[in-house]
């Protein structure tokens, strides 16, 4: 299995396709599998690089404080290990936070940036959701966290249509001390995220996307993020929430590809 030694830990990654590099950065607790439906589409046009953030999947899960900035350093280190000097970067939720820090600290590495359901900081309601998630994970387990996230993130209609596959995915959620540690460390990093005074430095073309009914990341916060990034484009998907990438997959993927392929 492909691993890169980065910042003193092992990061698990996979690559698909050929062309200009495109890095996909996942959200809180997610693994490469969260991009499973995008990989075959995007890899027709790009060399897609996907990986497990520290604290998730097959990557190391050290029991030390994490920050979003640190995870951006991990991403930059992975690009260096792969010999990638510049890439398109797409991040969703926590991955969008990481994408901000990556572009702020390593602007030469990011040619274009896509931020889905992300914000420059977590407001108090958002942080209460994170705290609830940590308490649920600790007292009940990781499967309960993911089930709660599904209820928070998707419409009832989507859950009803996909209940069988959701149950299959929940059955695969790891329930072990290492996975719990990684999730909690990532969650605390999200709670401490704040780039409000820094995202104005982002100069590359940027697309911000958000679900109109997002309960996990307030649409107001995404609107603020788009306003703070010079020249950023903004797209709001009506009638869906945090999981808009799955509920409106064809529309979202087409928008992302059009943005990345133009010019």
Q: What is the pLDDT of residues 192-225, one digit of tens each?
A: 999 999 999 999 999 999 999 999 999 999 999 9
3-state secondary structure of 152: helix
Which range has the worst mean pLDDT, 174-178, 227-231, 254-258?
174-178
Q: Are 114 and 232 in contact (CB under 8 A)?
A: no
Band (pLDDT 50/70/90 cuts) for residue 178 is very high
Give the pLDDT score at 103.
98
What are the pLDDT digits (tens) for 35-79?
999 999 999 999 999 999 999 999 999 999 999 999 999 999 999
pLDDT for position 22: 98
pLDDT score at 151: 94
What is the reported pTM? 0.96
CATH value at residue 248: 3.40.50.1820
DSSP assigned state of 195: -
Q: Tens digit of pLDDT for each residue in 218-251?
A: 999 999 999 999 999 999 999 999 999 999 999 9
Please give the average per-residue pLDDT across 126-140, as a whole number.
96
pLDDT at 1 > cutoff 90: no
Long-range contacts of 146-152 (CB under 8 A, 24+ apart): 146/29, 146/170, 146/173, 149/216, 150/243, 152/215, 152/216, 152/241, 152/242
Mean pLDDT of the residues in the chain: 96
Residue carrying structure tokens 């030390």: 64
Structural domains in the chain (count): 1
Q: Residue 263 — very low, low, confident or very high, per pLDDT cuts 50/70/90?
A: confident
pLDDT given for residue 105 in this prediction: 98
Distance CA 14, CA 235 (A): 29
259: how many CB neighbours lie within 10 A of its CB? 20
CA distances (Å), 137 to each of 145, 181, 183, 190, 249, in order?
6, 10, 8, 16, 29
> Domain range spanning residue 29?
3-261
């Amino acid at each position: 299995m492909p691993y890169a030694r980065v910042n003193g830990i092992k990061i698990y990654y996979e690559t698909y396709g050929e062309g200009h590099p495109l890095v996909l950065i996942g959200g809180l607790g997610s693994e490469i599998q969260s991009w499973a439906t995008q990989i075959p589409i995007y890899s027709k046009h790009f060399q897609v690089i996907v990986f497990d953030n520290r604290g998730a999947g097959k990557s190391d899960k050290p029991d030390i404080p994490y920050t979003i900035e640190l995870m951006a350093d991990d991403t930059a280190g992975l690009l260096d290990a792969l010999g990638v000097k510049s890439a398109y970067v797409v991040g969703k939720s926590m991955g969008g936070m990481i994408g901000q820090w990556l572009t702020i600290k390593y602007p030469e590495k990011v040619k274009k940036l896509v931020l889905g359901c992300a914000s420059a900081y977590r407001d108090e309601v958002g942080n209460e959701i994170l705290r609830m998630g940590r308490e649920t994970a600790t007292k009940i387990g990781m499967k309960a966290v993911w089930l709660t996230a599904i209820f928070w993130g998707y419409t009832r209609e989507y859950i009803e249509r996909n209940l069988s596959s959701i149950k299959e995915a929940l059955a695969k959620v790891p329930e072990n001390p290492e996975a719990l540690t990684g999730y909690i460390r990532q969650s605390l990093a999200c709670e401490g995220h704040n780039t409000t005074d820094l995202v104005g430095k982002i100069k590359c073309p940027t697309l911000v996307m958000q679900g109109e009914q997002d309960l996990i990341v307030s649409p107001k916060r995404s609107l603020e993020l788009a306003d703070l990034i010079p020249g950023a484009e903004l797209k709001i998907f009506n009638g869906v929430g945090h999981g808009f990438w799955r509920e409106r997959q064809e529309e979202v993927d087409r928008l992302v590809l059009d943005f990345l392929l133009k010019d």
